[in-house]
Amino acid sequence: MLSRFRAVVSLSRGVVACGLLVGLALSAGAALGQQPQPGRETQPRRAQPPAAAPTRSMVVPPGATPQLGRAMVPALDETRFVPDEVLFELAPSADADAVLRRYGATLIARQRFDLAGVTIIRARLDAGRDLRAVLLQMGEDASIAGAQPNFLFDLQQQSPSQTTSPQRGLSGAVGGASTASGSTSQSTLPTLRLPDSTPVPRGLGATRRVLPPQYVVEKLHLPEAHKLATGRGVRVAVIDSGVDMEHAELKGSVAGYLDAVDGLATPHAHGTSMATAIAAHGELQGMAPAVRLLVGRAFGGTQATANGKSFQILTAFEWVAQQRAKIVNLSFAGPRDRLFAKALAGARQRGLIVVAAAGNGGPKAAPLYPGADPNVIAVTATDAEDKAFAEANRGTYVAVAAPGVDVLTAEPEGRYVFSSGTSIAAAHVSGLIALLVEKQPELDLDGARKVLAESAVDLGSKGRDPVFGAGRIDAQSALARVLPVATARP
């Protein structure tokens, strides 16, 4: 795949009181301005820090995430967050300007997130302010209802570079490697970009590329499944990097697009690949070629360094819910995020089915989120021989497996690529659920999870296991469980 991804102790009030916090004077201020629309930010407003405010430190065991009643403080070895930004919710009747002055912070944006049931202020800390110290203070501040960092998440797909795939020995192809989420080592997983091929005639002047076969099509019994459903009328959201809407595989599939990053809607290989796995209808065969895609761009940056922040992801998530998405694909991973967890719980209550990559941290890695959240269907990856993806996370939260190794997909500018990782495996499951929803529109998260588990091909140890979950998905078998008996029979 084209770029890849990455518990909680409480501090008592007594520990916090031990020289870590210093009381600061409250100042009155004018109320904040009008709330911005989703994807838009208000103009920054400067606020004066308290005089001679010291930079505070704290002692936290590595690997632990202290969580006070109101604040989520990252552990000392946790670096997946924006170091000079804080996200917080005000308590009723608290004055925002006064709070900003108290903590030496500048307003970036203020936005309502209905899924999470909160209004969040995103603020930038002045130079020299320590985020962990600020969060510790906020945890004891009656004016703050909740506070946390602006966490960073990684896409769970590989980025191309100069490596040849051992599984696809195509002349002139280039492969890829990138840093996995939750790991500092360079990946050697097979990912390669196909060279431009000469189109061949297809009758009446039409042409097609000579592409290698998609093993996914036969393994998941897509031709048989598409005789019964194609995802028509179903809205599937892809919260990811930018999607190339003009690619031949995706033309006409995108019903709505929100850029929560910079408004430029820049196409990116990862987002294009995820959308293709779900909805391809050109030379490739996607899982649900007739779905309507809602693209929420929440990941910016280069091909190799694209990441997404909590605030951007929440903005995109809120928007796709407003656009009546039924299924939401999250092919990224990172740390546990309390605000995001609230939004996922809210989405489940509204009937949304959220699918997430289990993560590419490796068999011994700690759980990655949102895959490990109970309100999503976590997906791991398998190869053409139903073997487990070597760098996939393991755990009891893994629900099912899907093809995610050396998968033929598309990327911007009309190109095609082989990709590996749990990202594209999650996209395959999102597409399959779209087929199920076409036939059973009232399907919810629990119902989808049950159908997928009962129709999966059992792999590994008998029954559910932490490597494959319930097993590898099968589109034809899953559809048979939501159709009337007479319809499901050949």
The residue annotated as part of the active site, out of 226, 247, 268, 270, is 270
> CA-CA distance, 287 to 433, in Å (whole number)?
9
Whether the Cβ atoms of residue 195 and residue 173 lie closer than 8 Å to each other: yes
> CA-CA distance, 269 to 39, in Å (whole number)?
22
Establish whether 428 is a catalytic residue: no
Whether the Cβ atoms of residue 90 and residue 147 lie closer than 8 Å to each other: no
With CA atoms as reference, report the closest residue to 338 among 118, 131, 132, 142: 118
Rounded to the nearest 5°, which phi and psi values hold at 179?
-80, 130
Burial (CB count within 10 angstroms: exposed 0-12, middle 13-18, buried 19+), residue 247:
buried
> CA-CA distance, 181 to 166, in Å (whole number)?
23
Q: How many CB atoms lie within 10 A of CB 41?
A: 16
> CA-CA distance, 455 to 437, in Å (whole number)?
15
Establish whether 165 is a catalytic residue: no
With CA atoms as reference, report the closest residue to 129 among 152, 101, 153, 110: 101
The residue annotated as part of the active site, out of 143, 253, 423, 477, is 423
Establish whether 455 is a catalytic residue: no
The residue annotated as part of the active site, out of 95, 240, 406, 474, is 240
Burial (CB count within 10 angstroms: exposed 0-12, middle 13-18, buried 19+), residue 166:
exposed
Q: How many CB atoms lie within 10 A of CB 152?
A: 18
Report, as residue numbers or ranges, the catalytic residues.
240, 270, 423
